Chains A and B, each alone.
Chain A
Amino acid sequence: MAIVVNRKKLTFWERLYLPVVIGGLKVTGRHLFRTLFGGKAVTMEYPEQKWTLPAGYRGAPYLVKDQDGDTKCVSCQLCEFVCPPKAIRITPPGDSGLKPDRTNAEKMPLEFEINMLRCIYCGFCQEVCPEEAIFLQQDYSLTGLSRSEMIYNKEKLLSLGGEVGGIQKWKLKLDEAKAQENFPVKV
């Protein structure tokens, strides 16, 4: 069924078109003055101002240190294995390699590289890490002038990652070992 919408009959004053023009000028003028003098611009001026990101935001993955300033990564290579785009490459220390910078950890990576051009921010590395050593953090605009520059090495990842405290398994183990050394507990 056809719906007939009757056009409203305009009065002479309305048909003059001028009242609407003046009304429009008022609206646009109001916006102009508000933006110009009231600082009401809705634009976020990006590099200076940035969004506050939600807590669970998945940005770039970085290596973190624990609350004592030690590298948490133990070079288990689970993240390298799980990484869907194969962005992570870990060089383990080998037989005569780098000693871990904390007691009771077995090893630490000789080199740890993340190719940020390949990384898809999926968060699998964070998920799989048994040591809570890698976290997807808040950075989302990674830029560089060359491809090689976009491969972040261990040093860079650690400095960007900062410190994230948490459980320190080796400390527990250390305590346990110490407890065992003093085994027969004095009664």
Chain B
Amino acid sequence: MDWNFIIFSVVKVAVVFGALMTMVAYSVMAERKIAAWIQDRPGPNRVAPPFVKYIPILGPFLTRIGFFQPLADGLKSFLKEDFTPGGVKKIYFWLAPAVAVIPALMTVAVIPFGSVMGAQKMVIADLNVGILYTFGIVSLGVYGIVLAGYAANSKYPFLGGIRSSAQMISYEIAMGMSVIPVLLIAGNLNLSGIIEWQATHHWLICYAPISFIIFLVSAFAETNRTPFDFAEAEQELAGGYNVEYSSMKFAMFPMGEYAAMLASAGMMVTLFFGGWTLPFWGLDQPAHSLGMGLAHILVFIAKMLFFMVVFIWVRWMVPRFRYDQLMDLGWRRFLPLALANILITAIVLWLRS
């Protein structure tokens, strides 16, 4: 047994989990704030613990930007009655929220969020098949929703579940196909390897922009975000799969959704935007000091947050698709486009070698 490995892995898991959960909480806050700003509102700006008003400038500022809102939201979820409706299929009903959250958290394990700190690589599991692992795990997230829709034993959740399964078969192939040119160019399935390749060359967005567009759109579908949030569809299905849920079990679904968004943002940053590297200030080499290691992590988080903002921004702009339209988009537009993209990339690489 390699105790060193175990201890550092546990520490990394704990830290990443903690950071991810914090980011999930504040993503919800950011979502509400950005939504408000786009709709010409100030957004949540009242919640504050009593002592905050005694802090001179910072206190009112933090209250104003809704800094304490996630605490209130979380507390509220915990304190609400956890109601199980009479007609539900209990086992699946209890299982579904967990199935929705866990895959989103597991995806994060292979994403390199920094270069090195000391002797430790800043990735929880440096798998050689990182991308395959991600695609395998990410698809599981849909089962949480389908299961929730099935277990609730009621109309709207059921429709949500059906839509979600229809959605899954539409985007997933296009998404998988879109990444292949990236792998062809980088010549590596290991996510750290892909980042190292981007450190020595340019970011992969310059080589495979079409891949990026397909991946981005598929990521919206995968994380159930508007314009592809049919499973939830507040206006049509009154919340879809999560109608019958309450309390913490309900909170698990948004938690899973936002964790999946963060994971998707992390994947996009890793695959197309150079991960933790920046092409200047010598930030494109693995760090030699703890400070540089920290800087790399911050760069990664900054890039990830940019994509989070894009996710949120797009939500308040595009009307929802019908799910046959997504199928049309996935099968008749993106799949041929992705195949052509693979072919062209392969030919260009073959000609240049």
Binds A, one of B8-16, B34-42, B171-179: B34-42
A interface residues, Cβ below 8 angstroms from B: 18, 21, 24-25, 27-29, 31-32, 34-36, 40-43, 45
Q: Kindly count the residue-residue contacts between A and B in the assembled complex, taking CB atoms under 8 Å apart.
A: 43
A-B contact pairs, 5 of them (CB 8 A): A24-B318, A25-B317, A31-B37, A35-B42, A43-B41
Q: How far is the CB of A46 from chain B (nearest CB, A)?
A: 11
Point out the residues of chain A lying under 8 angstroms from B316, CB to CB. 28
Number of interface residues of B (CB under 8 A): 15
B197 CB-CB contact with A under 8 Å: no
B41–A27 contact, CB under 8 A?
Answer: no
B38–A31 contact, CB under 8 A?
Answer: yes
Please encode chain B, from 26 to 45, with 1 for each CB lying within 8 Å of some chain A CB and 0 for all others: 00000000101111111001
B313 CB-CB contact with A under 8 Å: yes
- Complex Cα gap A41–B37 (Å): 8
A42–B38 contact, CB under 8 A?
Answer: no
Known: A21-B314, A28-B316, A35-B36. 6 other contacts (CB 8 A): A31-B37, A31-B38, A32-B34, A35-B37, A41-B40, A43-B42
- Complex Cα gap A29–B317 (Å): 9
- In chain A, what residue has the closest Cβ to B314? A25
- Complex Cα gap A18–B317 (Å): 13
A35–B318 contact, CB under 8 A?
Answer: no
- In chain B, what residue has the closest Cβ to A41? B42
Point out the residues of chain A lying under 8 angstroms from B37, CB to CB. 31-32, 35-36, 41
A32–B42 contact, CB under 8 A?
Answer: no
Q: How far is the CB of A156 from chain B (nearest CB, A)?
A: 29
A31–B313 contact, CB under 8 A?
Answer: no
A25–B41 contact, CB under 8 A?
Answer: no
A28–B41 contact, CB under 8 A?
Answer: no
